[in-house]
């Protein structure tokens, strides 16, 4: 199998785990001239279009009046210290932003560093939804340079969480299974997927999801590769498996339609064929990577 890196899966940062707990050192890094800040407004990334910049210096940060409460230490690479932060609401009109989903279409940052964007967005998304303690309901505050929140009342420690979801390349001979969720846009088909439940392995989750959604039993289930998916904070786990039959029984609450597609047709669509009855997700989706691996075989 050729080496393949889904978007957001490459992250060269040393995450500086030993420094996170030392507030004084983190402050020093923030103030240093080597500090660079990724600024987010939800899942939009702030950019300086004129100068093609998405990593801002400390001086620029001060001008933009960023809330320090929400600044996260991401790590270090080639003498640059990376932080991510959420902009305050009084965002200057002069700032432009690009959706994280569309960012791959611009050349602000090398693909080898896209994992930094996913890291920055995911952990900020987690902070956004964990302002209050899930044990006692009181407020939480940021500690460890953004890698923990502590409850001010019961002192419970909360850590950024990642939800795992399996996404499956299901094959039967020269055919693979593609389906469309009930919320998909017209004509769009993809690999079936679902969240891993408590007490489950990736392999177990993949078999269960396939059976629940399509009524098919599978064997030879194996892990292929994974992808951080910062919408809001998921790890997509790419699996492949063989179907025991092609008889579909769809769960219509989740799957609007599914069908078996021959490898030649998948190859044609991946290569840009436009008059097919289905389209597949664009290049940022791991589903596309799973299909690319398969047609190469």
Look up residue 41 and give its DSSP letter. Answer: E
CA distance 239 to 158: 30
CA distance 148 to 223: 30
Site string for Zn ion, 185-204 (x = CB under 5 A): --------------------
Least distance between Zn ion and beta carbon 157 (Å): 10
**112/157 with CB nearer Zn ion:** 157
Question: 55-56 and 80-86 as β-strands: parallel, antiparallel, unpaired?
Answer: unpaired
Look up residue 95 and give its DSSP letter. Answer: -
Instruction: Please check whether residue 104 is in contact with residue 210, taking contact to mean a CB–CB distance below 8 angstroms.
Output: no
Stretch that binds Zn ion, among 64-72, 125-133, 236-244, 266-274 (CB under 5 A): 125-133
* 154 touches Zn ion by CB under 5 A: yes
CA distance 11 to 14: 9
The secondary element (H helix, E strand) that includes residue 290 is: helix 286-296
Stretch that binds Zn ion, among 47-55, 104-112, 133-141, 264-272 (CB under 5 A): 133-141
Neighbours of 184 (CB within 10 A): 16
**22/156 with CB nearer Zn ion:** 156
Among 27, 49, 99, 136, binds Zn ion (CB under 5 A): 136
Based on C-alpha coordinates, what's the Rg of the chain? 21
**136/141 with CB nearer Zn ion:** 136
Among 16, 39, 55, 133, binds Zn ion (CB under 5 A): 133
Among 113, 130, 156, 267, binds Zn ion (CB under 5 A): 156
Contact residues for Zn ion, defined by CB under 5 A = 133, 135-136, 138, 151, 153-154, 156
């Amino acid at each position: 199998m050729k080496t393949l890196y889904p978007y957001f899966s490459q992250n060269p940062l040393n995450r500086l785990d030993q420094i996170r707990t030392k507030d004084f050192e983190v402050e020093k890094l923030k103030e240093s001239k080597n500090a660079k800040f990724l600024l987010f407004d939800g899942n939009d990334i702030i950019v300086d279009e004129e100068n093609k910049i998405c990593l801002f210096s400390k001086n620029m940060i001060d001008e933009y009046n960023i809330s320090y409460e929400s600044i996260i230490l991401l790590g270090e690479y080639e003498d640059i210290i990376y932080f991510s932060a959420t902009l305050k609401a009084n965002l200057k009109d002069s700032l432009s932003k690009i959706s994280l989903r569309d960012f791959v279409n611009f050349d602000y940052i090398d693909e080898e560093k896209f994992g930094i964007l996913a890291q920055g967005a995911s952990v900020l998304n987690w902070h956004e939804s964990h302002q209050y303690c899930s044990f006692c309901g009181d407020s939480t505050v940021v500690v460890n340079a953004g890698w923990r929140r502590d409850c001010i009342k019961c002192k419970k420690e909360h850590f950024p969480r990642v939800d795992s979801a399996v996404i499956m390349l299901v094959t039967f001979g020269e055919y693979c299974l593609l389906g469309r969720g009930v919320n998909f846009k017209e004509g769009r088909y993809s690999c079936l997927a679902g969240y891993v439940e408590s007490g489950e392995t990736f392999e177990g989750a993949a078999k269960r999801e396939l059976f629940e959604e399509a009524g098919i039993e599978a064997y030879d289930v194996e892990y292929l590769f994974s992808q951080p998916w910062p919408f809001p904070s998921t790890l997509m786990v790419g699996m492949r498996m063989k179907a025991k039959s092609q008889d579909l029984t769809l769960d219509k609450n989740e799957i609007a339609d599914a069908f078996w597609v021959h490898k030649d047709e998948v190859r044609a669509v991946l290569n840009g064929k436009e008059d097919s009855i289905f389209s597949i997700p664009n290049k940022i989706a791991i589903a596309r990577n799973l299909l690319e691996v398969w047609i190469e075989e």
